[in-house]
Amino acid sequence: MANLKLTDVEKTYGGAVNVLNHIDLDIKTGELIVFVGPSGCGKSTLLRMIAGLEKITSGTLEIDGQVVNDVPPSQRGIAMVFQSYALYPHMTVRENMSFALKIAKKPQDEIDASVERAAKMLQLDEYLDRLPKALSGGQRQRVAIGRSIVRDPKVYLFDEPLSNLDAALRVATRIEIAQLKEKMPDSTMIYVTHDQVEAMTLATRIVVLANKGIAQVGSPLELYERPNSEFVAQFIGSPAMNLLPGEVVGTGPQTTVRMQRGGTAVSDYPTKDSDMGLKVNVGVRPEDMVETTGDAIFEGKVDFIEALGEVTLLYFEKQDNQAAVIGKLAGIHTDVRGKSVRLAAAPAKVHLFANGVSLLYR
């Protein structure tokens, strides 16, 4: 059980390299918060400050109402699981998982009970007497997680714990982490990943970090359905949202945009009379594009396709030096390559941005 609160947290390395500014974040007991953001944006730094492995330059970190800026890591009730699992190779799974409790001089029966409980939770009971080298990568990562569970921490921190695993193991271990969270509803977890699917499936809320700060915080679906900026819109979802330039020609509860390359878009984003003539970027996710014979947001020649089985990705010929538009159609459509296709989207799926900011968040 733990609530975490960061207030105006800043990090500057060595008095010169400013990495994070004005970080305000309220995390409640039982949440699984996922940090995402481009490489080097400060995800690990933020996690390490929460763990106490890195000093907070200014601002405060509170755990359950107590400022812990100067509390050493071992006394914060926090456990951290890293990308590399760093198990002791000469120790069995049981010994690896017991180690911290032995050091803390816990009674043996208590240690045994904690290890058995964690091993059961992680389905490691059969492997307790094996050495790490006799385990798969996924099992080793589970032992690393088990080592933190036995200490019964208030907060779990994970820094890209699955990134060293191959694709199939990643999926299996991701599901195990989700199930583990369900078994420990009162634990608070913070999880760093650059994997979209991990973020979308695990998080109660996602924190998008960029430009030394928080770009947006929200549930996975809030970020997907109502991104506050072009940055978040293009960061969440894969392939990224298409952005196409246009000009507002009709305002009200629905907005009509004349597309620069021809065609019209209608969006459920509301606008005011004073928005007439506003230059906007119309955002449409590839999966929201549908073929039409009527009014289109976009018409282009399909340059290339990728048939993934469940869906086909359509890459359109680039125009005016802009990023290639991508469409995603359900099923297999190998016949559309080289053809000209007209695409529209339902008004509820058409996002509008001006100067990089969503019109919903002005």
Choose the stretch contacting ligand ADP; rule: CB under 6 A; options: 40-48, 57-65, 95-103, 292-300.
Answer: 40-48
In angstroms, give the least distance from the CB of 137 to ligand ADP: 21
Which does residue 218 bind out of Mg ion, ligand ADP, none, counting CB within 5 to 8 angstroms by kind?
Answer: none
- Is there binding between residue 193 and Mg ion (CB under 5 A)? no
Query: Site for ligand ADP (CB under 6 A): how many residues?
Result: 12
Give Cα 212 to chain centroid, integer Å.
17
Per the CB < 8 A criterion, the answer to whether 272 and 251 are in contact is yes
Choice between 37 and 218, CB closer to Mg ion? 37
CA dihedral 2→104→159→57, nearest 10 degrees, is: 70
Give the residue, chosen from 44, 96, 173, 271, that forms a contact with ligand ADP under the rule CB under 6 A.
Answer: 44
By beta-carbon distance, which residue lies closest to Mg ion?
44
- Is there binding between residue 40 and ligand ADP (CB under 6 A)? yes
For 50, the token pair is 């929460």
Choice between 13 and 304, CB closer to ligand ADP? 13
In angstroms, give the least distance from the CB of 32 to ligand ADP: 18
Identify the H or E element spanning 2: none
**Residue-wise over 247-274: b if at least 16 C-beta within 10 A, else e?**
ebeebeeebbbebbeebbbbbebebeee
- Is there binding between residue 44 and Mg ion (CB under 5 A)? yes
Which residue, 34, 19, 6, 5, is CA-closest to 157?
A: 34
Give the residue, chosen from 2, 9, 19, 111, that forms a contact with ligand ADP under the rule CB under 6 A.
Answer: 19
Could you give the strand order of the β-sheet that contains 188-192, starting from the edge strand earlier in sequence? 78-81, 155-159, 188-192, 32-36, 205-210, 213-218
Give the residue, chosen from 3, 12, 45, 234, that forms a contact with ligand ADP under the rule CB under 6 A.
Answer: 45
Which does residue 40 bind out of ligand ADP, Mg ion, none, counting CB within 5 to 8 angstroms by kind?
Answer: ligand ADP
Phi, psi of 20 (to 5 degrees): -135, 145
Per the CB < 8 A criterion, the answer to whether 96 and 103 are in contact is no
Give the residue, chosen from 2, 27, 32, 41, that forms a contact with ligand ADP under the rule CB under 6 A.
Answer: 41
Residues found near ligand ADP in the complex (CB under 6 A):
13-14, 17, 19, 37, 39-45
Residues found near Mg ion in the complex (CB under 5 A):
44
